[in-house]
Structure formats: C-alpha cells, structure tokens
Chain A
Amino acid sequence: MLDTAYNVETPEGIDLRAQAAGPVPRILAYAVDVFYRSLILAALGIALAFADRAGVGIWLLCSFLLEWFYPVFFEVVRGGQTPGKKAFGLMVVNDNLTPISWSASLLRNLLRFADFLPFGYAAGTIAMTLNRDFRRLGDLAAGTLVVYRQQNSSERSLPQAAPLAPPRGLLMQDQLAIISLAERHRDLSEARQRELAELLQPVTGKSGRDGLHYLHAVGNWLLGGK
C-alpha cells in the first residue's frame, strides 16, 4: 500500500499508528533550525565581540556545541521536537514509537554528517526515498523515525437530525459508510454531501436535501442516538 502510515504492535497487543514525515517538511524544519542557530551565533558574536580573543574561543566553543548538540538537546528534552520540527508539527521517536533516548539522538545527529555528503543532504535524501518510513542514514542506524505529531482532534459533532431506524439488511460496510458520512458532515461541503446522498437515491427513494437528511438521521441512529 502506498501510504505513510507506520504501525507498531505494543506488548499489550495494540497497534499504534503514526504518520511518517517525508523529506519536504523535514527539509523545511531543518531550514528553520538553521535559521535559529545562525541567529544565536550572530547574537553571540556581537555579544562576545568585546571579549576579544577569549570571546573568539567561547564563540568557537558555542558554535561547536550548536553544530553537533543543538538537535540532541531539543530532541531529548523537548519531547522529540527541535524548534524547527515544532513549527512543522514533527517529532522524532524511536521506531517502537517511544520517546527518543539520549544515545539514539546522539547517534542520529552524529550521522547527520554522513547524510549531508557529498553535498546538501544528498545521501540522506536518497536513503529516505529508498525505504518506507523516510529514514535517513542516521535514522536507520539509531532506529528512529520522524513522525507527525498528532493534533488533538476536536470534539465530535453530529448533524442535527432525529435518529431514524435504518432499513433491514444493511451490511456492515454500508453502515460504516453512512456513519462516516454523518461524522464528516462538517468537513464536506453541503453540495458534495448531497451529491453523495444522490448516489443512494435508488435505495432510499429520496433525493436532494431530503435524501441527505435521511442518511444523517440513519447515521445518528447507528451511532446509538435515541
């Protein structure tokens, strides 16, 4: 299946699911991080300009730390998100979807250099396109991956329609289709919903607004509305 879903079975027998993040949002997130890092270095450079040679030493030290450990710090301390990743709703996790550990984060960020070779993250991008979960070399070695952080979904809302019992002999998949139509009544435009309801006109015997209303009502009933 051509899909970015990533499933893990926990010891409790539950399938956890996450969406692996592809190269484009990750490159953008990286660009944001580079921007922040340069900003910090520039600010430090100005602040330390008065400290002369000692200042240069401290600046070099800081630039070393920022170059190699900036992502490590944020990934471990801030729940897998550097500021750039946070901006794009990404997070790094171990491949069993647990929070990333120090050693894994260190490894994946040390190997960033190999991903960068020969220029502009070419090796990393090629590696990402060659495996299912968009892992660069560092991710492969450290056993990590970058996934989308899921947004907390808003409360469910159901269409305003008094529940109506469905006709007999409705198959499971038909029920599911009707339920999901009711569930998505906010996300789909009115016209599109009516168009979908129209397809069932031979079955429901109703068309236009009535047909849609009827399907909403059945959906409510199937969800347990009384």
Chain B
Amino acid sequence: MKQQDFEQRYGESWQRLEQWLRTGDTDSDRPAPDLPVAYRSLCQQLAVAKERQYTNQLIERLNQLVMAAHHRVYRQQTLRRNTWVRYLLAGFPRAVREQIRYVWLAAALFVLPALVMGIGSYHNDALIYAVMSPEQVLQFESMYDPGNDVMGRERGSDSDLQMFGFYIKNNIGIAFRTFAAGILFGLGSIFFLVFNGVYLGAVFGHITRVGFTTTFYPFVIGHGAFELTAIVLAGAAGLRLGQSLIDPGGHRRPAALRLASIEAMKIVYGTFLMLVVAAFLEAFWSSSTELGVGVRVAVGSIFWLLVFAYFALAGRGGNPEGEARHGS
C-alpha cells in the first residue's frame, strides 16, 4: 500500500483522536473514543508505517499521537482515599522500623556529638564559642533568661505566627537538606546530623551551665519530641540513599538508588508532617509561659513517650500486603 492510501484510510481516525486528546474529557459534546482500542490500533498503524518505511513526517506524527495517547492510558492515579490515613496509622512507623539500622546510626551521629559537646561546654565556659559567635551566645542567653517576663521575644499572637513561619521554613528546610545531601554517598547526611548535634549540644551545655534550666527545658521538651526525632529520621532516610550507592547489592547503582529512594521517601513524608506539628507546638505552645513549668515538662515528656510508642507499636500485627490488597 502506498503511503497516501494508508493516510487516506486512517487519517480520519487520527484526526478524531488528536481532536479528543486536545480538548480532553471536558468537551462533553464529542463522544469519548474507546481509548484502549483506539490506542492499540494506533500502535499497530505506527508499527506498520515504520515497517513499510513511510516518511519521517508521518512516523513523527503517529509517534506524537501514540505518546499523547500513551500518557492518557498510563496516567498514574496514586492518591486513593484512605492512603494517607493508612500511611499515618501503619505505613510510616513500619517504614521506620524497616530501616531501623539507619535510624539508630543517624541517632548516634546526632546524639553522640551532642552529648560530647554538651558535657564539654557544661564544664568549659569557652567551648561554646568554638561553634557560635559571642553575639549569638548573648542572644541565646537573653532568650532564656528567667528574669524576662515574656520569653525572649515580645510574644503576641502575631509574633507567634511570625515564629511559626520561621520554624517551618528553617526546620523543615534543615530536615529536607539533611535528607537530600545523603545522596552524596551519605556524607551530606552525616555532616548535617553531626553539625546539628554539635550545635544543639553546645546550647544545651551552655544554658545549663548558666543556670537557665527552668525556662530552657520546659521550652524545648515539648516540640523537641517531634523536631529532634524528625531530624534524625530525615538523616536516616538520607543514609539509606547513600548506602544504596556505596553498596548497591545485586543491582546496578541507578537501580539500587531507585529502590532505596522509594523506601526513603516513605520516611520523608512522615518527617515533614512531624516537623509541621513541631513548628506548631514551638510557635504556639512551647513559648506560652502561662502554664507552669511542671505542666509543660509533664506534657513534653508525654509527647516523647507517645512518639516512641508510636514508632515502636503502631502498625504492628496485620499483614501489610493483605491489608493493602484489602484496602484497594
């Protein structure tokens, strides 16, 4: 068959499909074609056109049409109802438990430098200046000085909102960076974990040394339960990425990275939510001085217990595969 006969025979159906793909489902006047059938016969026509070596222009046109139809046919619809609920109730803690080796490693990389630096700057007045400028130290001291009526900043509801924005941008940014930098063979995550550990340890040690414990600890304990764990989890997800590049196992490195990133992302979604909670608490709850120190420490401790219980217990029991099948 000559090319022009071929075009004449199928041209009309191509035009119809092109038209429909352009307007999409919105145009209700035109009946939707049976897409899978139209797509399959289009594929066949493209194959024939290639086999018969028809001109590039025709093949190009059919190729574009096939691509557009392919996009429609294979469009992924990932967000099902209940997905998020199931993720929160079971998926997230399960993902964390699956990667528990990385979580412990990240925790060690964060907590050990913090401990060393904390104890160090508790006993040595000068050590904190190794990581911070004197102005920053002064700022921290004035922030947690019990002599202040309101803590550090003048806090009204509008400045609560300001701090909320700040915590969101700053803390979630840190967590995302800690995760992302892990792709550089894990080095980036290690750096951010250790760096933040050192910084935090220095502040803890110094403030304790100065004796502002009654303002500092009630402030940090509440949101710390979510914030510090989330940073560690983001680091763990980053380490998982890096590990897949260092030791890809039976896969090629790109494939290993793909698989690892699927696992890692399951954790990253959760850390994002935890940090939103943390920013909310930090801005609107931790700073309120109306509640007594005892109440805030108690509630903060309960948060810590809840977070650990959540990761230890939630989503246990019940076969995840079976549940997924049941839910879909």
Residues of A within 8 A of B (CB): 10, 12-14, 16-18, 52-54, 56-61, 63-64, 67-68, 96-99, 101-103, 106-107, 110-114, 117, 123, 137, 140-143, 150, 152-153, 156, 172, 176, 179-180, 183, 222-225
Residues of B within 8 A of A (CB): 2-6, 39-40, 43, 46-47, 53, 55-58, 60-61, 63-64, 66-67, 70-71, 74-76, 78-79, 156, 158-166, 168-169, 172-173, 176-177, 179-184, 188, 241, 254, 257-258, 261, 265, 268
B4, B58, B159, B176: the one contacting A113 at CB < 8 Å is: B176
Smallest beta-carbon distance B240→chain A, Å: 11
Please indicate the chain B residues that have their CB under 8 angstroms from the CB of A123 in the complex. Answer: 184
User: A225–B78 Cα gap in the complex (Å)?
Assistant: 49
The secondary structure that dominates the B interface is helix
A10 engages B257 (CB within 8 Å)? no
A64, A99, A143: the one contacting B168 at CB < 8 Å is: A64
B183 engages A53 (CB within 8 Å)? no
Please indicate the chain A residues that have their CB under 8 angstroms from the CB of B177 in the complex. Answer: 113
Known: A53-B161, A172-B53; 14 extra A-B contacts, CB below 8 A, are: A12-B39, A12-B40, A18-B67, A58-B165, A68-B176, A96-B74, A110-B176, A110-B180, A141-B183, A141-B261, A142-B258, A223-B2, A224-B6, A225-B4
Q: A101-B76, A113-B177, A172-B53 are in contact. Are A63 and B159 (CB under 8 A)?
A: no
Smallest beta-carbon distance B177→chain A, Å: 5
Q: A16-B66, A101-B76, A180-B55 are in contact. Are A53 and B162 (CB under 8 A)?
A: yes
B164 engages A57 (CB within 8 Å)? yes
B181 engages A143 (CB within 8 Å)? no
A103, A137, A172: the one contacting B183 at CB < 8 Å is: A137
Query: Residue on A with the closest CB to B261?
Result: A141
Q: A54-B158, A63-B169, A68-B176 are in contact. Are A223 and B75 (CB under 8 A)?
A: no
User: A59–B241 Cα gap in the complex (Å)?
Assistant: 32
Q: A54-B158, A97-B70 are in contact. Are A112 and B169 (CB under 8 A)?
A: no
A13, A56, A99: the one contacting B47 at CB < 8 Å is: A13
Smallest beta-carbon distance B192→chain A, Å: 10
Q: Name 14 A/B residue pairs within 8 A (Cβ), A-sorted.
A: A12-B43, A17-B63, A61-B164, A97-B67, A97-B70, A102-B79, A110-B179, A113-B177, A114-B184, A117-B188, A150-B64, A179-B55, A223-B4, A224-B4
User: A98–B76 Cα gap in the complex (Å)?
Assistant: 8
B180 engages A16 (CB within 8 Å)? no
Query: Residue on B with the closest CB to A52?
Result: B158
A99 engages B165 (CB within 8 Å)? no
Q: A10-B43, A68-B176, A153-B57 are in contact. Are A57 and B165 (CB under 8 A)?
A: yes
A110 engages B268 (CB within 8 Å)? yes
User: A63–B257 Cα gap in the complex (Å)?
Assistant: 30
B165 engages A59 (CB within 8 Å)? yes
A61, A107, A117, A225: the one contacting B184 at CB < 8 Å is: A117
User: A13–B70 Cα gap in the complex (Å)?
Assistant: 12
Summed over the interface, the residue pairs from A and B with CB atoms below 8 Å come to a total of 144
Please indicate the chain A residues that have their CB under 8 angstroms from the CB of B261 in the complex. Answer: 107, 141-142
Please indicate the chain B residues that have their CB under 8 angstroms from the CB of A222 in the complex. Answer: 2
Smallest beta-carbon distance B319→chain A, Å: 23
Please indicate the chain B residues that have their CB under 8 angstroms from the CB of A13 in the complex. Answer: 43, 47
A58, A68, A113: the one contacting B181 at CB < 8 Å is: A113
Q: A56-B162, A98-B75 are in contact. Are A14 and B169 (CB under 8 A)?
A: no
User: A98–B56 Cα gap in the complex (Å)?
Assistant: 23
Please indicate the chain B residues that have their CB under 8 angstroms from the CB of A180 in the complex. Answer: 55-56
B181 engages A54 (CB within 8 Å)? no
A-B CB proximity, top 3 nearest: A224-B2, A60-B165, A57-B165
Smallest beta-carbon distance A167→chain B, Å: 18
Please indicate the chain B residues that have their CB under 8 angstroms from the CB of A106 in the complex. Answer: 265
The winner among A16, A60, A63, A222 for most chain B CB atoms within 10 A is: A60
User: A83–B289 Cα gap in the complex (Å)?
Assistant: 46
A64, A68, A101: the one contacting B165 at CB < 8 Å is: A64
B257 engages A140 (CB within 8 Å)? yes
A10 engages B78 (CB within 8 Å)? no
User: A117–B181 Cα gap in the complex (Å)?
Assistant: 8
User: A109–B119 Cα gap in the complex (Å)?
Assistant: 39
User: A156–B57 Cα gap in the complex (Å)?
Assistant: 7
User: A113–B57 Cα gap in the complex (Å)?
Assistant: 41
A61 engages B53 (CB within 8 Å)? no
A61 engages B183 (CB within 8 Å)? no
A223 engages B76 (CB within 8 Å)? no
User: A54–B283 Cα gap in the complex (Å)?
Assistant: 12
Please indicate the chain A residues that have their CB under 8 angstroms from the CB of B3 in the complex. Answer: 223-224
B66 engages A57 (CB within 8 Å)? no
Smallest beta-carbon distance A55→chain B, Å: 8
A16 engages B67 (CB within 8 Å)? yes
User: A137–B261 Cα gap in the complex (Å)?
Assistant: 12
User: A172–B60 Cα gap in the complex (Å)?
Assistant: 20
